[in-house]
Amino acid sequence: RLPVPKLEDTIRRYLNAQKPLLNDDQFRKTEELAHRFGKGIGKELHEQLVAQDNQNKHTSYITGPWFDMYLKAREPVVLNFNPFMSFNPDPKSEYNNQLIRATNMTVSALRFMKTFRAGYLEPEVFHLNPEKSDTEIFKKIIRFVPSSLSWFGAYMVNAYPLDMSQYFRLFNSTRLPKLNRDELYTDEKAKHLLVLRNGNFYVFDVIDRDGNMLKPSEIQAHLKYILSDNSPAPAFPLGYLSTENRDTWALLRKNLLDNGNEEALQKVDSAVFCLSLDDFPIKDFVHLSHTMLHGDGANRWYDKSFNLIITKDGTAGINFEHSWGDGVAVLRFQNEVFKDSTKAPALSPQSQPASVDSSRAVQKLDFKLNDALKAGITKAKQKFDASIEALSLNMIQFREGGKDLLKQKKVSPDAVAQLAFQMAFLRQYNQTVATYESCSTAAFKHGRTETIRPASIHTKKCSEAFVRELSKHSTEELQKLIVECSKYHGRLTKEAAMGQGFDRHLFGLRYLALSKGIALPDFYQDQAYAQLNHNIISTSTLMSPAVELGGFGPVVSDGFGVGYQVHDDWIGCNVSSYPARNGKEYLQCIYKSLEDIFNVLKGKKISS
């Protein structure tokens, strides 16, 4: 189970995170508020939270508050919440044909779904010592241990089973807009796929009455039929509605239902997943990011648990709704789909579609729109276009080293990337700001994520040495500062993964106070608390053989969204921003920071 940290630990960790962001006077005030909170109302709330947690052993203390945080948010899901991860191309280039890849990936996704539902999906396990535990013999033995004890057997060899309670929401699921708080909806009985092309909606069954998958050649035939349908794009594409403010969308949805669209919407909501087929090829990585993060707004249904997007040249990616689950669940799905569709593809480029009557099997959904709905779609499009217009996406590939060299120098690759983000921001804006790095807590029952706070007194000191005081430090001193940052970041990461961060705990206490109608404690009204939770640099990393790159929008209007990957011999970084910040310049500063850090680790003298 996810532990509730000790309150004194949480306050200590909170103050450590505040230290680099505040001057002495501000820090003294925040420190006093924190200690008062810890002895008074905070202590009472903490005891109530622990008691509540003890009565709810089937779940974790963060589950309810976290779902609420996502589902009560009224901002559009696109750009604000939905991230993307794009697939690597199929190593066999002739398999990157749009129809072939769409069919193969759909079949692999259905195989994954069927395996999962039958209870045969291999458990997700984090192996600290893979030589001992990630072996056939261990798997054979553990198979015979009853499940109430098997986790203990795994712990003995440093293998940690991860929570998989989110997985069922991958399929047949959607987020329904409701006033004040959305709902998650899942209908596992539905057997059809939703396909979007050119803003038109199509459905066809991919599972038959006996629960078997349709033949791949039949799925190919139906997708070919959709790809060759030359119906014009709708004048009022419904997809735009899923880009709206959630309350606005909730009212429009009610209007849609009242206007005779209940059956069509039910098809959309219950579909196994949404396959979006785009009619253009990808030009470059920036175009790829724009396509997967937001697209044109008409050819996506952002409320589905995920959209599998495949462009004209067979480039594929996933855009997923974030309330139901986190990156680890989606990544496992992506890894399996990539592996299965490339190693055991259902079709080859020579495969012929089955001779079936697709015009009968495929249903094009028709929506009845009144003037209010048409006006609603037009307005949604204008707002969507304006927010996309304001968004910048930029990226770099740092090719002068990566994980291999950093491990050889005994520093943490993730710590170095995070240090570079701090150094770069100091170089560009001359300050240290609130920074967020997400860390999975799936090692616990119903765990979600915890925050790592990469901005520390160590990164601040090191960044200032590199950016402002280079002449005062020898290369050895700079190396020591990097090692210091690496050690501290390693500790923060370990604590977060073990459910020992401070963000979720404080969030849970605040949520509890509000739910009990208790006046919000002064601690939470502190300017410094608000500032720490205004995450100007929001970061996330995922590494996988299946994923080419990932990214998300900034979480605040004056922030950066930083998706990054530290490969064996290079580092990739993808930054989103709005006009208040210059993402291109920030990336140049990140590049310079990485260059300086790597040169110092190699023992070279650097210049400012």
Tokens of 92: 């066999």
Q: Are residues 454 and 377 in the same domain?
A: no
Q: Give a yes or no: residue 480 inside a domain.
A: yes
The confidence score (pLDDT) of residue 153 equals: 82
From 322, 446, 489, 505, active-site residue:
322
Structure tokens at 287: 């175009």
The pLDDT, as a whole number, for residue 130 is 85
Domain boundary at 342, 372, 390, which? 390
Residues 549 and 436 placed together within one structural domain of the fold? yes
- Residue numbers of the chain with a pLDDT score lower than 50: none
Q: Which residues pair with 192 in a beta bridge?
A: 205
Residues 434, 318 share a domain:
no
- Tell me how many degrees the CA angle 164-167-169 measures, rounded to the nearest 5: 145
Q: 273 φ, ψ to 5°?
A: -165, 180
Domain assignment present for residue 368? The answer is yes
Same domain, 65 and 114: no
Is 198 contained in some domain? yes
Of the residues 135, 161, 187, the one at which a domain ends:
161
Nearest C-alpha neighbor of 326 from the set 306, 297, 302, 303: 306
Q: Which residue has the tokens 């969204």?
A: 561
CA distances from 409 to 447, 463, 478, 592, 602 (A): 33, 19, 14, 19, 8
The last residue of one of the domains, among 374, 390, 406, is 390
> For residue 155, what are the contacts with CB-CB under 8 A and spacing of at least 6?
none
Does the residue 1 lie in any domain? no
Structural domain that includes position 156: 125-161
Residue in the block written with tokens 């705990």: 505
167 in Cβ contact with 116 (< 8 Å): yes
**Are residues 91 and 52 both part of a single domain?**
no
- Number of folded domains that form the chain: 3
CA distance 61 to 45: 13
Contact 346, 206 (CB under 8 A): no
Which CATH number do you get for residue 156? 1.20.1280.180
- C-alpha separations of 330 from 166, 168, 216, 590 in Å: 9, 11, 23, 28
Query: What pTM, to 2 d.p., does this model score?
Result: 0.96
CATH number assigned to the domain comprising residue 526: 3.30.559.10
Q: Which residues contact 258 (CB under 8 A, 6 or more apart)?
A: none
User: pLDDT value at position 369?
Assistant: 98
Give yes or no: residues 362 and 454 share one domain: no
CATH number of the CATH domain containing 292: 3.30.559.70
For residues 92 and 196, membership in a common domain is answered with yes
* 216, part of any domain: yes
Q: Would you state the pLDDT for residue 227?
A: 98
30 contacts 522 by C-beta, under 8 angstroms: no
- Contact at 8 Å (CB) between 442 and 328? yes
Residue 168 is assigned to a structural domain of this protein: no
Q: Looking at the structure, tell me whether residues 236 and 320 fall in a common domain.
A: yes
436 burial class (0-12, 13-18, 19+ CB within 10 angstroms)? buried
pLDDT at res. 158? 85
- Domain assignment present for residue 269? The answer is yes
Same domain, 323 and 442: no
Whether 58 is catalytic is no
> Would residue 607 count as lying in a domain?
no
pLDDT confidence of residue 512 = 97
**Dihedral (CA of 95, 96, 102, 105) sign:** positive
Q: Are residues 292 and 313 in the same domain?
A: yes
Whether 192 and 150 map to the same domain: the answer is no
- The predicted structure's pLDDT at residue 42: 98
Phi/psi-derived region of residue 517, left when phi > 0, alpha when psi is between -120 and 50, beta in every other case: left
* Distance, CA of 593 to CA of 590 (rounded, Å): 5
- 381 and 401 fall within a common domain: no
